[in-house]
Structure 1
Amino acid sequence: MNKINNNLEFNGNEDEHFIEYYNNKNYKSDLLKANKNNKAKNKKNSNFNFKSIEKNRLNNNKNKFILNRTAYYNSNENINFQSDIIYVEENITVNDLALKIGVEATELLKILFKKGKLLNINQFLDLHLLNLISQELKINITTIDKKNNIYINTENKNEQNINNNQLKTRAPIVAVLGHVNHGKTSLIEHLVKSDLTKNEIGHITQHIGAHEFTIGSKDKKIILLDTPGHEAFESIRKRVLKISDIILLIIAADEGIQQETSRIIESLKNSKSSIVIVITKVDKIDAKKNIAKILQHLTEYGLIAEELGGDIPRVDVSIFNEKSLELLLDMILLISEIKNLKTNPGAQAEGIVLETYLDKNKVPRANLILQKGRIRVGDIIIAGQGFGKIRSLFNYKGEKISESEAVSLINILGMPELVKTGELFEKVETEKKAKSKIEELKNKKDHADFKQILIKSDNNSNIDKKTIDINLIIKADVQDSVEAVIEVIKKNINNVEGNIKITIVRAEIGEVSLNDINLASITKAYIIGFNIKISKPIQKIAQMKQIVIKNYNLIYDLFEDLNKLIQDLLKGNIAKVEVIGKAVVKTIFNLAKGKVAGCIVIEGKLDSLKFEKNDIEEIYEGKECGVLCKNFQSWKENDIIECVSSNNDKIRACLIAFFNCFCCLAVKQVKRLGQNLFNSNLVGVLRLFLEVVYLIIPGFILLLFNLHLVHSRVILIRISLRLAINLLNLNHFIILLYYYC
């Protein structure tokens, strides 16, 4: 078990007295005496202030952080640090740089070997070699000349004397991570004083929620990033970790460490962010007992809380206790103070892409974190492998602004392209420079256009079985949702026993278009939509071309439906199911027969329902109706009822209808054909011929129209039933009974 370092840096100037005190050998004993004195005072004073005690604890934590620090500089150093830059001394060795960056030394040697440089781990690196490594790893390495206090940036090789007066304290970027329904979004709601779940389907987070707010009493700004808890969004969480200064690990007191919590903790081991353990729902029964178990369980992952001898702080929170929320904010501000987060407003503007999407006019937009410099309307920015001019700029409240200064959340119109979360963006002065930089990027890596993704099941026990091919087209609201859907597909295919090959022929942002329908028709693909709207004209065209479109708002529903589809395909039930009608449950009635869902049809039509007190066969859009199910009573308001049509049922109906016709013909031929021919009864032969036509024509019509005409099937059943009764043939009744079943 490796202990996770809390990665806390701090300002040497501000905490110089702590450093000097730390150099004193009696520091630990003095700290223990101070703690004992505080406890004794608290016992004597029965009316002590809980909040003041917690503040004292936070101050002690600060001392403890400094005591456990891993910074390499001594008390006489006068250096200001920026958290997004890796500072190294001149003439650093390969091994020391690897420890500083957090990678294996062999990885650095491989990078240098590819560049034609053969070194060992104990050799020193000059500025040129540091520049090669920084370009390959896409990190900013700055060397420090301690004598002259000069920073040398390896990105541009320009020596610049940074004036400390130019640096400005910036807001911490805080990521909130935890298992689904452990209270992440509720906690953020109470911190930012806003209802965030009202726009989330099913009240679960499925996008990155970015929030900027100011603590009024202290005039301090914090940027909070709310991440999805479902495992399908794991790639999003990993990218958020890279841009965060502080991680709030949320664990519910009543549920403890869950599967997703374990995955998050594993990803924290390679993070350079500082961690805070936040126990939520502490107001529940037996919460205190569970907290002790949770902290003990965390030690198995290398996360050791302060009270167990570690350096990771813990804050117990209840959304109903305002003081606990204040303590959490105090902890965030304390850690950001220790880390001494700075930014240079005069530097070239750059930052991180949080989320990209298409607006209602299908124009690319983006939510960004501006980390350095200042950005204005009309500026040219590079992101991904494209560049564009900012046409409109909005702050975190959605208000239109002309410029913004780091560090802040912004939304821009005029994004060059749709890029992934975590991608860097930067401002350039002219279009000529932008084009030159884009060409450099294109030479380094292939273009980011989507290529077909092939996903195969890893089940070697079914080598002899036939492989089932599935083609999919994915359409989603944002780029992160596209990736989440692909992750769901990968997980589903690896959890089934069988040979499955899924080809994703297209995966992109936007609504389903006619081009998607045509591609699905050519490739025989299913279309999966996530958090998008499908227009009625597109639905009609898809229905005509028999293209299956399934649209989801919840990742859980997508997960379950995709798993069911794969299982049906493995069993040979290759059914194309299409939604032909939708209704929403408005109220619920209790009758003697069971619960009836009072609905209003919002799309298409539904069959076999009740209108007022009468049984009806179908009801159309805009009408109200009641739904009674024999084996289902768990109706809830705002439930969506879907009426579906399956190709399997249609094909089976056609086959049974033709089989019924064939049996009728066979029986009649056996009983009457010989007699009619023997007697030369032309009338009987003609009658037999007409009855044959009477049976075959309706069946043929059904086959041509693929049973879209429901009433044609009813006519066929009635004709067949009348003929069977006239003939008094038992075989016909058996066939018709099977057909009805």
Structure 2
Amino acid sequence: MIRSLSSVHIACCRLEPCVSRPPFLSRILGSTRNYAKRAISRTNELKPVTFEIPSYTSVSDLSNMTSIKIEKLIRDLTKMGFTNVTHNYILSREYVELVLSSYNYKVEDQTSSLTPETVYEELRSSVNPKNLKKRPPIVTIMGHVDHGKTTILDYLRNSTIVSNEHGGITQHIGAFQVKTPISKRTITFLDTPGHAAFLKMRERGATITDIVILVISAEDSLMPQTLEALKHARNSGNQMVVAITKIDRFSNPKQREAAIEKVNLDMMNHEIPIERIGGDVQVVPISARTGENMELLEESIVLLSDVMDLKAESGPQTTLEGYILESEMKKTTGNVSTILVTKGELRKGKVLICGNTYCKVRSIKNENGQDVSKATPAQAVEITGWKDLPGAGDEVIEAKNEATAKKYVAKRLAVIQTARESENVDRLNEQRATKALSKLKKVSESGEGLQNSENDPGVEENGPKKVNFIVKGDVSGSVEAIVESIASLGNEEVKCNIVTASVGVPNENDMKMARITGSKLLCFNLGPLPHEIVNNKDEIEVAQFNVIYKLIEDVTETLTDNLKPIYETKQVASAEIRDIFNFSVRKKTIKIAGCKVLSGQVSRNATVKIIRGADEKVVYDGTILSLKQGKEDASLVKKNNECGITFGDDFESYEPGDKIVVYEKVKVPRYL
């Protein structure tokens, strides 16, 4: 509704100048600048700004500061392109500067060009060709679930990852540096999970790698996640090698050739430029279980990396850069993260910045848990010393010392806070405009506006019911993937609302938050939980999972249980009122309907309707109060038997010939 000060506008024009502005914002800014130029052209004399321009100010305050009548100011702002301007409409600093320019004030441009992503750019060092050294290739293995990605790594480094994984699927990014058995060359492998829930982790793997090995099963050919991995590989601009796996499943050579041929044809249909049609993508049929053609795959990677001539700046004098692959809280060592070094040399004592936290490196361990003295480009190591957990996928950069790190982290937090303030200003303007428009509707339409308010996008609605969850995972990558998977679950009635998501075993704050918000705790890969968490006195529901799709199924089931129940009416019996009898009990006369059961069984306390006439008018909808056969109370009367019935709510307005329909409400199963 109010488009001139949305968070997108402010981010584009004030906090994130590198992002292209939307057309409607360009029109506002363009019309404002044109208006300012016309005003300035009327006189060459510029007035000095004698007051401090705040980050945000209302129209009425700006009127007081400039001594411009508020009516004129509102009128001029409307001409500039602002909509729904009132006296309490809030303007950002950039808009205030443009408005002042239109009134012939001399304004110095103090707009900040910093964004959360560019705060640390000053710390980067320029490339020194003398420090460039050859580095190992970083290879990502991508593909569909259960197509044999991890089995390839098992063969290369003689490990048994598969047997240690829950559900037989890889659920963390694994980074391993191996020395290949044939060429004795070092290669860094990133094993990205193939499950659909780990989309962001696969995206991250494709953007920090040099070569992508696209794994395609000879049995299944191209599957949905295979095509998704192919898309990420293309978008990242990485070189690619295709490995056709599981060829050992075909004992008949002709069947094997036919399966490989089908994969080749499918790849050509999806425009993968394989060597067979003159492209540069190598295709290697392999079996990681038997080792068939594995040396050929290794040679293909080494050959491709030699052609790419991969180099990086190394040495202690080069500013270190890298990426966080995983981060987690360990009981014995505190905050730890797996970092992939892309530039410089990582040593103990170095100060690193990542996101909103920093680290003075206390220890460095390789993939085997052994302490190492340093890490060079293309090497993945685990480090400790973080003040807070960094985010998986965030970039790491070196700072000179802790004082510098604190300074830049504070600067980044200030930029983020400014962005949040912008969003708050946007919401405040929208709320005020909505209230004003709502009042106008009520006055002009004499109450009809209330009926139409649900069509107004600015009016608050109850919306779907929020079902709250708190996510706790073993590592940040898992937490991120879970949030990405369940955040969008729901429909117009119920919605998944993630209250908090963090790494580690649930603590007192998590339990307190769950109690206050009525949340369900979702714990992923945390092992046995403390007794006081599982059997907590507040009866907070705690669910534990080792496989992510089981967690997604549980959340879906919980949301389904919170859907508004729908019942359908099912007739179970019928009876007819044949006569009416009067009985005196304690000086009170009561009426009893003498009935005959026509179908089914009539039971005491059953729900009934009394229907009268050809038009089947319902004269009573309630319950049976008492049921008698002769003088005895009965709990059940079967078909073709006679009985006496009284009804609840003291209803006695029935007549002979009325039909009694006994029914029950059956809950209809509902699904998201």
Q: Tell me the TM-score normalised to structure 1 length.
A: 0.53
State yes or no: 1:480 paired with 2:497: no
How far apart, CA to CA, are the structure 2 residues paired with 1:243 and 1:212? Answer: 15
AA in 1 matched with 2:364:
L
User: Secondary structure, in 3 states, of the residue corresponding to 1:269?
Assistant: helix
Cα 1:731–1:219 shift into 2, 3 Å: same
AA in 2 matched with 1:536:
H
* Residue 567 of structure 1: aligned partner: 560
How far apart, CA to CA, are the structure 2 residues paired with 1:261 and 1:401? Answer: 36
User: Secondary structure, in 3 states, of the residue corresponding to 1:564?
Assistant: helix
State yes or no: 1:284 paired with 2:249: yes
State yes or no: 1:272 paired with 2:212: no
* Residue 513 of structure 1: aligned partner: 507
Q: CA RMSD in A?
A: 4.0
Q: Is the 8 A contact 1:512 1:538 kept in 2?
A: yes
How far apart, CA to CA, are the structure 2 residues paired with 1:225 and 1:445? Answer: 32
Note the residue ranges of structure 2 that are not aligned, 5 or more in a row.
1-16, 30-111, 424-454, 456-460, 568-582, 589-630, 639-663, 665-672
User: Secondary structure, in 3 states, of the residue corresponding to 1:482?
Assistant: helix
* Residue 337 of structure 1: aligned partner: 306
> 1:548-586 deviations in whole A, cap 9, x for unaligned?
111111012112222222222225399xxxxxxxxxxxx
AA in 2 matched with 1:731:
S
Cα 1:437–1:480 shift into 2, 3 Å: same
Q: Is the 8 A contact 1:305 1:311 kept in 2?
A: yes
The equivalences for 1:39-188 within 5 A come to 162-163=129-130, 166-188=131-153
Match of 1:225 among 181, 190, 205: 190
State yes or no: 1:432 paired with 2:397: no
AA in 2 matched with 1:398:
G
State yes or no: 1:534 paired with 2:529: yes
User: Secondary structure, in 3 states, of the residue corresponding to 1:212?
Assistant: strand
Q: Is the 8 A contact 1:353 1:422 kept in 2?
A: yes
* Residue 273 of structure 2: aligned partner: 304
* Residue 389 of structure 1: aligned partner: 360
AA in 2 matched with 1:545:
D
> 1:492-527 deviations in whole A, cap 9, x for unaligned?
33xx6x422222111111112232222122111111
Give the length in aligned residue pairs. 439
Q: Is the 8 A contact 1:492 1:559 kept in 2?
A: no
How far apart, CA to CA, are the structure 2 residues paired with 1:515 and 1:733? Answer: 58
* Residue 522 of structure 1: aligned partner: 516
User: Secondary structure, in 3 states, of the residue corresponding to 1:391?
Assistant: strand
How far apart, CA to CA, are the structure 2 residues paired with 1:283 and 1:729? Answer: 77
Match of 1:373 among 322, 340, 344: 344
Q: Is the 8 A contact 2:348 2:363 kept in 1?
A: yes
> 1:402-428 deviations in whole A, cap 9, x for unaligned?
333333121111123222222121222
State yes or no: 1:322 paired with 2:294: no
More helix by share: 1
User: Secondary structure, in 3 states, of the residue corresponding to 2:472?
Assistant: strand
How far apart, CA to CA, are the structure 2 residues paired with 1:137 and 1:514? Answer: 33
The equivalences for 1:199-278 within 5 A come to 199-278=164-243
Q: Is the 8 A contact 1:385 1:447 kept in 2?
A: no
How far apart, CA to CA, are the structure 2 residues paired with 1:351 and 1:490? Answer: 29
How far apart, CA to CA, are the structure 2 residues paired with 1:109 and 1:407? Answer: 34
User: Secondary structure, in 3 states, of the residue corresponding to 1:492?
Assistant: coil
* Residue 550 of structure 1: aligned partner: 543
Q: Is the 8 A contact 1:384 1:417 kept in 2?
A: no
How far apart, CA to CA, are the structure 2 residues paired with 1:465 and 1:135? Answer: 35
Q: Tell me the TM-score normalised to structure 2 length.
A: 0.59
- The structural deviation recorded for 1:334 is 0.7
Cα 1:409–1:387 shift into 2, 3 Å: same
How far apart, CA to CA, are the structure 2 residues paired with 1:500 and 1:396? Answer: 43
How far apart, CA to CA, are the structure 1 residues paired with 2:273 and 2:171? Answer: 30
Cα 1:109–1:489 shift into 2, 3 Å: closer
Q: Is the 8 A contact 1:382 1:426 kept in 2?
A: yes
More strand by share: 2
How far apart, CA to CA, are the structure 2 residues paired with 1:385 and 1:155? Answer: 16
The equivalences for 1:617-636 within 5 A come to none
Cα 1:733–1:371 shift into 2, 3 Å: farther
Q: Is the 8 A contact 1:514 1:538 kept in 2?
A: no
Cα 1:503–1:432 shift into 2, 3 Å: same
Cα 1:499–1:378 shift into 2, 3 Å: same
